Amino acid sequence: MDRVKINVNGADFEVDAGQNVLSACRSIGVEIPFFCYHERLKVAGSCRMCLVSVGTPARDRKTGEVVKNEDGSVKIAWLPKPSIACGTNVSEGMHVVTDSDAIRQCRGSILEFLLLNHPLDCPICDKAGECKLQEYANAYGNGVSRYCESKNVKPKRREVAGKIILDSERCILCSRCVRFCEEVIGRPIFGFTKRGSKTEISVYPGGDNDSNYLLNAVDICPVGALTEKAFRFQMRAWFLRTARSISPESSAGVNTTVWTREGRIYRVTPRDNEFVNDSWMSDSGRYFHIGRGARLSGARLDSSACDLPYAIDRCVEILRLSNFAIVASAFQTVEEMFLLKALAKAAGAPVYMVSHLGEDDGFLVSADKTPNLRGAFVTGLISEYPPDNLSALAEKIDSGEIKTVLCFDEDLKSLGLGSAHFKKANVIFCSSVENSSAVGAKVCVPLEGEMEKGGIWINRQFRMQRFEAVVERPKWAASAVEFLSQLLCRIGGADFETPDVGLLRSVIAERVPQLKGCADIPDCGTLIDASAFAGVKFPEKAAFKFDPASVGANGG
Amino acid sequence: MAIVVERKRLNFFERLYLPQIVSGLIITLKNLFRPKVTLSYPDQRPTLPDGYRGGPTLVKDSQGRQKCVSCQLCEFVCPSKAIRVTPGSIDPDGEYFYIEKAPKEFQINMLRCIFCGMCEEVCPEKAIVLQDEFTFAAQSREEMIFDKQRLYEAGGTLPDKIMKWKRVKDNADLERDSH
């Protein structure tokens, strides 16, 4: 990429050409405050917060040559008035001043205008603590108000599409939500009505204002004008801890930040990844963790509660007894799948999986409703796209070939196995959630949930992405990796040691060629070599940052 | 290192013992007729100085509105982590709809409270006030965790000039129709 030399506050820097002054300054560590600019949206230039002084080398009008000062330096032609940094592109030799008295006065005045009619209800505003207006008023504001008229009264507490609360008094009219709906969702939902100081954000009354991506407008709102109804008055932002996670909703592998306090999840927001989801995520993905059903809360043997170590001992005994089959789940991490593959290989057990297909919205919810089916291909658990039921396994049980089923997460009874199969074969059910498989199972082993484990998932682009544990695993639940490595050690066939996940990853990196870099994955994830799976027919449609035709051709 | 303090040897007069008893009794007799400086607590309660920091309480305004809006700043600032607020919403059809937010539950663990007054200082609504109560006793630890009802009972009313909720409520419909 081309580079240009610019001068910011008297110091020379070299930055990428073609970007605006705001992002150029940010790349060299000079902060310029802004409200309306968003790097994933078009420039509106409506807030005027990012005003800076800009000058370019003066040129002679006749000859077009650069004019020099008496001392030989280049003469700078400063623009008479400050310009907005978001709407000005950098050019060779440009001079930018971001911290002069004039600019500071600009910022103070802009904030004074924005705060004229602001209700100052920070104590009851959910945005407080992460509000740009609050931060900038503190950093650049005048600290006092000279306004003594009555403030404008605008509608508060208005519901939008049943999931957003709109407070027009807090709005600073930055138009981020308007632009988001037009540019990303593709149809206008928010818009401005009325004029002058009475301008407010509105939605079309009575129209269909819903979209599965509407809550992104809440995330990009720089103030508390749009707040999420489900998160409203739940917890103040400063109490929440964040963890980097991945949405398990579908194979899109949307990067998320999960906000928790004391082991309780309060909200899920998208995490910026320019290769996967930009700054967006689906609304259904935000609440995915809530609809996962009841927890399998304790080890069970023949439907009566028992100790976890005892249950694991019984698992080993049962698995040693006879031929067993493995039903793997695409919610498992790459690490678990690698151990499972080693177990299957050691015991000669066949591996079954099922596909969970649904609707593909062509954006960030894909047809495959599991996060890590690609991981099963890469670790070698399966080589063909799995069917949507387990009739093949049912036949094997009927014929008496399989005596034991080691099942992870899957709801066996809804996938073609009846009570007769549960009588004929011993089912060992390992999962975080309760379902019909747990009812007739010989042994139930409670495992940690998706939010309680860290690991690697491979999304529809064959991009392997790392996620971390969000909340602590309950004491009665087993870590899936520890449980599997115990099985592997005791049934035999482990030719590697698995004392911890870090070392396990280095073993995986050695043994699976596609996963070479899995011990050290950058934040944006790594595309892996998918050429070996070019023949597999995946159901995902072309979508945001995803072209099914190019998968397999990327070569890592 | 130990410091050795040498004792003065008693002289003959002091060793006589009785004169010392008498001089002691004189001091006692003198004080018997002086004005009292002690209080017979708990029958008599002390007069507390202004700004005394007793137990924290929640207060209502002169109209009886519970002032706390559960902004949780007191919970954040509390150095001994004695306060725990569960935020909640106010019924949109209720009288105080404009306030929008009120605590669902508000607990102060008086065993943890150190009466520092930071919660009072940080409160943007002047809803939490350290008042005069300084004796707390209970049979169990649970009883020492004061809930919202108990804190409001102990707090009483603190008159307040600003009735933002009322003014806006009166003007809201009128203003809205005017645009």
The enclosing domain of A187 has a CATH number of 3.30.70.20
Residue A26 lies in a domain: yes
pLDDT of amino acid B178: 38
pLDDT tens digits, one per residue of A402-434: 999 999 999 999 998 888 899 999 999 999 999
| C-alpha dist (Å) from residue B119 to A129, B53, B64, B77, B78 | 18, 11, 21, 7, 6
- Please tell me whether residues A183 and A322 are part of one structural domain: no
Which chain A residues are within 8 Å of B99, Cβ to Cβ?
124
- Is A157's CB within 8 Å of B172's CB? no
Q: From the list B89, B92, B175, which residue is nearest A233 (CB)?
A: B89
- Please tell me whether residues A318 and A190 are part of one structural domain: no
- Is A194's CB within 8 Å of B179's CB? yes
pLDDT for residue A150 is more than 90: no
- Please tell me whether residues A89 and A132 are part of one structural domain: no
Of A45, A75, A99, the last residue of a domain is A99
**A358–chain B Cβ distance below 8 A for any pair:** no
Q: Nearest C-alpha of chain B: how many angstroms from A234? A: 6
- Please tell me whether residues A394 and A463 are part of one structural domain: yes
The enclosing domain of A27 has a CATH number of 3.10.20.740
- The ranges of chain B with pLDDT < 70 are 164-179
Residue A260 lies in a domain: no
Peptide bond into A248 cis (omega under 30): no
CB-facing half-sphere around the CA of A288: CA atoms within 13 A: 25
Number of domains making up chain A: 3
Which chain A residues are within 8 Å of B101, Cβ to Cβ?
123-124, 233
Of A174, A198, A232, the last residue of a domain is A232
Residue A278 lies in a domain: no
- Please tell me whether residues A38 and A151 are part of one structural domain: no
Residue A249 lies in a domain: no
Residue A284 lies in a domain: no
- Please tell me whether residues A370 and A442 are part of one structural domain: yes
Q: Mean pLDDT throughout A116-138?
A: 93
Q: Mean pLDDT throughout A301-329?
A: 92
- Please tell me whether residues A203 and A226 are part of one structural domain: yes
- Is B72's CB within 8 Å of A157's CB? no
Give the C-alpha separation, B49 to B167, whole Å: 36
pLDDT of amino acid A553: 53
- Provide the chain A residues 119-178 that lie in CB contact (below 8 A) with chain B: 121-124, 128, 153, 155-157
Residues A481, A483, A486, A492, Cα dihedral to 10°: -80
Residue A268 lies in a domain: no
The better pLDDT of the pair A315, A550 is held by A315
- Please tell me whether residues A412 and A502 are part of one structural domain: yes
* b/e code A188-208 from CB counts within 10 Å (16+ = b): ebbeeeeeeeeebbbbeeeee
Sequence-ordered list of residues with C-beta below 8 angstroms from that of A532, at least 6 positions apart, any chain: A514
- Please tell me whether residues A536 and A442 are part of one structural domain: yes
User: Which residue, among B143, B148, B56, has the nearest Cα to B104 in the 3D structure?
Assistant: B148
Q: Mean pLDDT throughout A228-235?
A: 94
- Provide the chain B residues 63-92 that lie in CB contact (below 8 A) with chain A: 69-73, 75-76, 87-89, 92
- Please tell me whether residues A87 and A113 are part of one structural domain: no
- Please tell me whether residues A376 and A498 are part of one structural domain: yes
pLDDT of amino acid B140: 95
The enclosing domain of A358 has a CATH number of 3.40.50.740
pLDDT of amino acid A502: 84
Sequence-ordered list of residues with C-beta below 8 angstroms from that of B111, at least 6 positions apart, any chain: B82, B141, B144, B145
> Which domain does A187 fall in, by range?
105-232
**Ordered domains of chain B (ranges, CATH):** 56-162 (3.30.70.3270)
Q: How much is the ipTM here? A: 0.85
Of A64, A99, A134, the last residue of a domain is A99
pLDDT of amino acid B15: 87
Residue A247 lies in a domain: no
The better pLDDT of the pair A553, A6 is held by A6
pTM for this model (two decimals) = 0.90
Mapped to the 3 state alphabet, what secondary structure does chain B carry? CCCCCCCCCCCHHHHCCHHHHHHHHHHHHHHHCCCCCCCCCCCCCCCCCCCCCCCEEECECCCCCECCCCCCHHHHHCCCCCEEEEEEECCCCCCCHHHCEEEEEEEEECCCCCCCCHHHHHCCCCCEEECCCCCCCCCCCHHHEECHHHHHHHHCECCCCCCHHHHHHHHHHHHHHHC
Give the C-alpha separation, A541 to A549, whole Å: 10
- Please tell me whether residues A59 and A121 are part of one structural domain: no
Residue A111 lies in a domain: yes
Residue for token pair 């990009």? A220
- Residue pair A504/A330 in contact (Cβ under 8 Å)? The answer is no
